[in-house]
Structure 1
């Protein structure tokens, strides 16, 4: 027999919110947005104001080996679930990127055509251009001091975008959109591979020239990059020295994986900053920069990569540069174990947000708060 409370007992029954408070999300519950950020379909809400947008580009049909990065945006968001805008201060940075006056919002994913790459690439460019045209959320005085105001062609502040890929080809439509606002930009490119290879001379169509290994070459052809860009983490097999000559013609200098052992992290950072200078700079990170022992879920893994900690340390050293946007690409969750790649990617995304917000690299912990010896 089903038990029923008397009517009087219902009237005295305490509501959940009275007894336990608001229905807050736990780390493993609630709608899936990056780090539990506010979510909006920004592409259909042009008046939505924000200072930084997180957008997903679920695209993986120009890969040369293992597909699956179309699930990257969802995977990275899953990896971010223990991150939260209310608990984002870290010892490494000494700051909370969400409490520095900028509105950061998850704008969802672009609904890309999965059958026609030409359409999908145009959709990505149009979406990114739309996000750059949104109003910034910060006030007029803060907007006037924003780095994007000084760098943009129109002298106006523009939102910055953190993109979750997707295979690396997504950077071509991003650079096309950025070019309309800033002109040619420099790129700091973290990757095991150059991605500057010339398309095959016998390519059967114009669209087939664009792959996740040739997109920088195409961007160079279109004049989207300054002749001052740099790679970090390169270790792939090549056809020979001619690949490096071509890479330099496209506008890049190389910091290899081994260089971190030979010259150290501080010199890696110094070379990156010195080579870019005050140029507007776009940060692009292929998760295969990290050794596959720590980040196996990627399309073209290469042994002998940097550690997650080393990559995070280098990103901290880039804070204060004229960063106009960033991405994390080539996360393919189907090849993951216990979400370790997605978690690493989400943590690096947090670092990119911190780098955008910080005016300079964070000082070491010992400089900020010297160790007090009790002897």
Structure 2
């Protein structure tokens, strides 16, 4: 045995990775006996690729397209557009959601198309058939709600009115980054113009079907258009069908019976937040799919559907909500529906924690919505 020891210690028996360290003099002496610190000359340095945190912040590092360019200006074609709606003067509680679009994009910086493979499905939504782009934010005034909503109406109309990149599916679909929930009204108007009536799956802790005369209208007609009445107004305008549904509801009512009666008139059923304790994630998915079956669908996600422990950065937080994992699992269960538009709203970054809990959650919800849209193209 003693004769074998020298053989085991010989260099020929050792396989090691060769590691070359830069000179200790570092930046002051770029060349040394070990060779140059930089392996490329200044002319060869690559600045065309780099970390996901470089450059302009678009959602998931997607390409930016000026979708709002004037009519007649040639614009790159797309199939799904990300459109920001920086508006929060329709809130009844804490403001700050005008910074939501930027916050959601910030939360998505770690996502990139080439690294977007879903571990659960093995698919990459960014490298599928649809060309997905970020259109930036609609230019909305913060001094006049009526003008701002008209600006958002026009932005949606122009973005969805362009020819899609696909030769088979001709109408681009939009995911809106809010902004307070009033912005969904403009999205529904645009969706109705392109697709007709839709069933709404509304993830929220609040009903948002309050009569404008009850919430805000007592002050002025102008004040009656807000983030708690937009679904009532959408019903009045004939934008949504009577097969819509709320999911995650848990907030108190203003009127014990009147609010529920009005909600039924607006065409909604309710799946409460606590229903998940009784029927589970699969039960919630089944209830939502059954309600909207056979119709085109719009999905609106108020981030306050999540419990404040998972999403503190919102204007009207309500305790007792769902976890991020539960919400993402429910969204995954909606694949196969004909979803023609979607949004994530009420993200107010100023109330988030340093770990950006809400921004990360909102960005992941957007990615789940993208997967639903790509999975089921709609003619």
* TM-score category (smaller protein): 0.7 to 0.9
Equivalence for 2:59 = 34
Structure 1: how far apart are the matches of 2:280 and 2:113? 33
Once the two structures are superposed, the pairs formed by residues 1-375 of structure 1 within 5 Å of their partners are 14-16=40-42, 18=44, 21-44=46-69, 45=73, 47-138=75-166, 140=167, 143=168, 146=169, 157-200=170-213, 203-238=218-253, 239-337=255-353, 338-359=355-376
* SS in structure 2 at match of 1:128: helix
TM-score of the aligned structures, taking structure 1 as reference length: 0.86
Which consecutive residues of structure 2, in runs of 5 or more, have no partner in the other structure? 1-27, 31-38
Give the deviation of 1:27 after TM superposition. Answer: 2.9
* SS in structure 2 at match of 1:328: strand
* SS in structure 1 at match of 2:308: coil
Give the deviation of 1:180 after TM superposition. Answer: 1.2
Structure 1: how far apart are the matches of 2:313 and 2:50? 28
Which consecutive residues of structure 1, in runs of 5 or more, have no partner in the other structure? 6-12, 147-156, 361-375
Q: Could you list the runs of 4 or more consecutive aligned residues of structure 1 that deviate by over 4 angstroms after TM superposition? A: none
Structure 2: how far apart are the matches of 1:191 and 1:249? 19
Whose Rg is larger? 2
Structure 1: how far apart are the matches of 2:179 and 2:193? 22
Q: Is the Cα–Cα contact under 8 Å of residues 65 and 75 in structure 2 kept in the other structure?
A: no
CA offsets 1:104-156 (integer angstroms, 9 cap, x no match) = 00000011011000000011111001111111112x2xx1xx4xxxxxxxxxx
CA offsets 1:4-58 (integer angstroms, 9 cap, x no match) = 99xxxxxxx9434735x45323132221111110012210156331000001000
* SS in structure 1 at match of 2:310: coil
Name the count of aligned residue pairs.
336
Equivalence for 2:6 = none
Cα distance, 1:230–1:16 mapped onto 2, change above 3 Å:
farther
Supply the RMSD in Å over aligned alpha carbons: 2.0
Structure 2: how far apart are the matches of 1:346 and 1:17? 37
Structure 1: how far apart are the matches of 2:41 and 2:213? 67
Cα distance, 1:269–1:16 mapped onto 2, change above 3 Å:
farther
Structure 2: how far apart are the matches of 1:298 and 1:205? 26
Structure 2: how far apart are the matches of 1:55 and 1:127? 9
Structure 2: how far apart are the matches of 1:352 and 1:17? 43
Structure 2: how far apart are the matches of 1:16 and 1:284? 49
Q: Is the Cα–Cα contact under 8 Å of residues 88 and 97 in structure 2 kept in the other structure?
A: yes
Q: Is the Cα–Cα contact under 8 Å of residues 57 and 124 in structure 1 kept in the other structure?
A: yes
Structure 2: how far apart are the matches of 1:310 and 1:17? 51
Q: Is the Cα–Cα contact under 8 Å of residues 339 and 376 in structure 2 kept in the other structure?
A: no
* SS in structure 1 at match of 2:246: strand
Cα distance, 1:16–1:282 mapped onto 2, change above 3 Å:
farther
Q: Is the Cα–Cα contact under 8 Å of residues 17 and 23 in structure 1 kept in the other structure?
A: no
The structure richer in helix per residue is: 1
Structure 2: how far apart are the matches of 1:14 and 1:103? 35
